[in-house]
């Protein structure tokens, strides 16, 4: 069994942090996709989610997968190659409206706009939102005078494309427990996603089915049952074992080792951290008190001598020597040093 020393992490909480601090230090924050609750595929804010939780970004940063938890499906979000498209428009003003425009390359438009000291630029997006990031403030000039020919720039924001790749069933948000390909498979509250380094496989914890699923991206998103008994509503299902003989209870957070060989899972309702060897589907408890879903708060300890309460999130250090775990029930973070 893999065990290690557990240490508390003390959190410094800074109150009254104002929004403009984040904006000035880290740049503009913009909605990438989604708006109101829903289940539709689409582009940018036209795509809809229902309580999305875990995410995994591809190694090339070109797309990511999202656990759309209450729609019971996995969504793929493909990032646009360019955030904005643009064109130079020779426009006429007729009765107060801009008309007679023709586009050219985005590069030409940007070059023109940045050099336009007379402030004849116009910046616009697909949802009527002004885009001013990295562009002069004079580009907000929208004056339109009768019979005056002006040249303006038009910028439109390219939102990411969102598509459903697994789960949802025929009605788009059906929950269940059924292995199949893509949207023919049924999931139940997918929570966290781990993606292999070659972007060919992903693993999903399902809080509603108490299992871990494997999705073969390279094989038409084939969904298979990797581990867990799948006994819905069994909140004392803590047994170690292999494949379906092992048990989970509301598994949430998950992290995959850098060599893609091992999953570490926050088995939340069982108050434990579980290790899942991918090749054999062997599940063992590496942290959390022994016995039936025992919870509590203990000082630093080792392995099953340490008590946890509703562990939810889990992360691994870059050198793969430490696990970091967030505990909902104990309002704390703990660190576990893995054996080498």
pLDDT digits (tens, 9 = 90+) for 17-34: 222 233 334 566 778 899
* Residues, the chain: 340
Q: Please write the tens of the pLDDT for every residue from 203-254.
A: 999 999 999 999 999 999 999 999 998 654 444 456 899 999 999 999 999 9
Interatomic CA distance for residues 144 and 93, integer angstroms:
6
Interatomic CA distance for residues 94 and 31, integer angstroms:
35
- What pLDDT sits at residue 282? 97
- pLDDT class for 145, splitting at 50, 70, 90? very low
- pLDDT class for 299, splitting at 50, 70, 90? low
Least confident of 37-41, 150-154, 332-336: 150-154
Pairing of strands 262-267, 251-256: antiparallel
E strand or H helix that includes residue 75: strand 73-78
E strand or H helix that includes residue 22: helix 19-26
Query: Can you give the C-alpha Rg of the chain in angstroms?
Result: 25
Q: In what order do the strands lie in the sheet with 211-216?
A: 190-195, 201-206, 211-216, 222-227
Q: Tell how far CA 218 is from the center of its chain.
A: 20
SS3 337: strand
* Model confidence at 13: pLDDT above 70: no
Interatomic CA distance for residues 148 and 11, integer angstroms:
61
- pLDDT class for 40, splitting at 50, 70, 90? very high
Q: In what order do the strands lie in the sheet with 282-287?
A: 241-242, 282-287, 272-277, 262-267, 251-256
Q: Average of pLDDT values for 280-292?
A: 84
* Model confidence at 142: pLDDT above 60: no
- What pLDDT sits at residue 135? 36
Assessment of whether the complete model's pTM goes beyond 0.85: no
Interatomic CA distance for residues 17 and 96, integer angstroms:
44
- What pLDDT sits at residue 117? 36
């Amino acid at each position: 069994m893999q065990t290690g020393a557990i240490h508390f992490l003390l959190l410094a909480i800074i109150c009254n942090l104002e929004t403009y601090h984040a904006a000035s230090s880290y740049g503009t924050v913009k909605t990438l996709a989604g708006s109101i609750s829903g289940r539709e595929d689409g582009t940018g804010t036209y795509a809809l989610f229902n309580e999305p939780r875990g995410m995994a970004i591809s190694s090339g940063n070109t797309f990511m997968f999202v656990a759309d938890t209450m729609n019971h499906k996995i969504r793929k979000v493909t990032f646009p190659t360019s955030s904005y498209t643009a064109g130079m428009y020779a426009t006429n003003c007729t009765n107060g409206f801009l008309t007679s425009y023709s586009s050219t390359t985005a590069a030409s438009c940007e070059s023109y706009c940045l050099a336009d000291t007379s402030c004849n630029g116009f910046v616009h997006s697909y949802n009527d939102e002004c885009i001013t990031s990295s562009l002069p403030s004079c580009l907000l000039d929208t004056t339109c005078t009768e019979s005056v020919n002006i040249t303006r720039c038009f910028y439109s924001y390219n939102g990411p494309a969102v598509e459903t790749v697994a789960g949802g069933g025929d009605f788009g948000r059906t929950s269940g427990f059924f292995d199949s390909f893509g949207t023919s498979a049924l999931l139940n509250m997918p929570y966290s996603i781990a993606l292999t380094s070659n972007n060919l496989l992903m693993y999903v914890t399902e809080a509603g089915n108490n299992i871990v699923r494997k999705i073969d991206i390279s094989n038409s998103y084939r969904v298979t049952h990797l581990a867990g008994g799948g006994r819905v509503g069994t909140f004392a299902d803590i047994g170690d074992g292999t494949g379906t003989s092992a048990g989970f209870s509301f598994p949430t957070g998950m992290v995959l080792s850098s060599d893609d060989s091992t999953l570490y899972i926050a088995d939340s309702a069982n108050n434990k951290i579980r290790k899942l060897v991918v090749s054999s589907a062997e599940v063992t408890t590496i942290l959390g008190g022994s016995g039936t879903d025992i919870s509590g708060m203990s000082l630093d300890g080792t392995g099953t001598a340490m008590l946890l309460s509703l562990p939810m999130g889990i992360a691994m250090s870059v050198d793969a020597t430490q696990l970091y775990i967030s505990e909902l029930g104990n309002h704390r973070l703990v660190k576990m040093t893995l054996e080498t």
